[in-house]
Chains A and B, each alone.
Chain A
Amino acid sequence: MKRLLTLPALVLWKTFFWTYERATWQYDLLVLAILAFIWLTPPGWLKDPTATGPGLIGLIERLLGVN
């Protein structure tokens, strides 16, 4: 249990207080997370005043008939 609490704390700490160089796997992982956020988040969720198109999640929502 203690380990379960310590490991996420370490991961969070190292994410917030970033010391990794470019071209490390940690850097690449964060880049992927950022790109996923930018491209997958439907612009409506962020009330984006300039975006066009629903984004990938928005498309999936439409296909599934959500909203």
Chain B
Amino acid sequence: MFPLSAIIRLCVALRIHPNALTAIGVVINVAAAWALGLGWFKTGGGIIIVANIFDFIDGKVARELQEATKFGGFFDSVMDRFSDISLFVGLIYLYAEKGRTDYVIVTALAMMFSIMTSYTRARAESLITKCKVGFLERPERIVLFMIGAFTNRMAAAMWVILVLSIFTVTDRIYFTWRELNGGIKVEDELEHRLAEIRLSTPRRAGHR
């Protein structure tokens, strides 16, 4: 994409350290959280886009500058959590200001399960090779924040983040348990039963 590749080339030419780009992304996300906290959703949505440009380019700049390190990956992941949490805190502040404890709870739970989504994968991958299951990962979460902000439907977006994060965390716990125990996959069992039923069902005359 032209504008992004131009930004990447500029950062490479200026030899901006990728970790600095990551840190700038967090600061911009805090600004987005501030805007959300004040109820300026469209401004917040716009700032989230800018913040995520930094999040998108830091890895690419690191590779271009041949400065991709394990610490860089670790730092990026940790800063992503700060960015995510700050957006949720902005919304919690907004709902608290409006006296809406119900949405304070919904947003706080969405934040809790969003953090657990990342934690379960990180912890699982210290025990098993890969744990990339579940629908709601960070890109989906950020897009939901943007949709909620730009279309003024943040409450619905929070419900979606909460419910799908609960599923994702549960999925990761189940997947890790299954991988560690070598147990039978429930979906394999269901598919096997479906295949058995198909085979045992007599075909109607004339039915091909």
Q: Are the C-beta atoms of A48 and B153 separated by less than 8 Å?
A: yes
- How far is it, in angstroms, between the C-alpha of A20 and the C-alpha of B191 when the chains are bound? 16
B203: interface (CB < 8 Å): no
Q: Does A19 touch B at the CB level, under 8 Å?
A: yes
A side interface size, CB within 8 A: 31
Taking CB atoms, residues of chain B closer than 8 Å to A51 are 152-156
Q: Give the interface SS of chain B, mostly helix, strand, loop or mixed.
A: helix
Interface size counted on chain B using CB atoms at 8 A: 39
B8 adjacent to chain A (CB < 8 Å):
no
Minimum CB–CB distance for B100 against chain A, Å: 5
B102 & A13 in contact (Cβ 8 Å cutoff): no
Interface presence of B147 (CB below 8 A): yes
User: Contact between B41 and A50 (Cβ–Cβ < 8 Å)?
Assistant: yes
Q: Is the CB of A48 within 8 A of B154?
A: yes
Given A6-B193, A10-B191, A49-B100, the answer on whether A38 and B156 have CB atoms closer than 8 Å is yes
Binding site for B on A (CB under 8 A): 2-3, 6-7, 9-10, 13-14, 16-20, 27, 30, 34-35, 37-39, 41, 43, 46-53, 55
Question: Which residues of B does A touch, CB under 8 Å?
Answer: 39, 41, 94-95, 98, 100, 102-103, 133-135, 144, 147-148, 151-157, 159-160, 164, 167-168, 170-171, 174-175, 186-187, 190-191, 193-194, 197-198, 201
Extra A-B contacts (4), CB below 8 Å, given A10-B187, A38-B153, A47-B102 = A3-B194, A35-B147, A41-B156, A43-B153
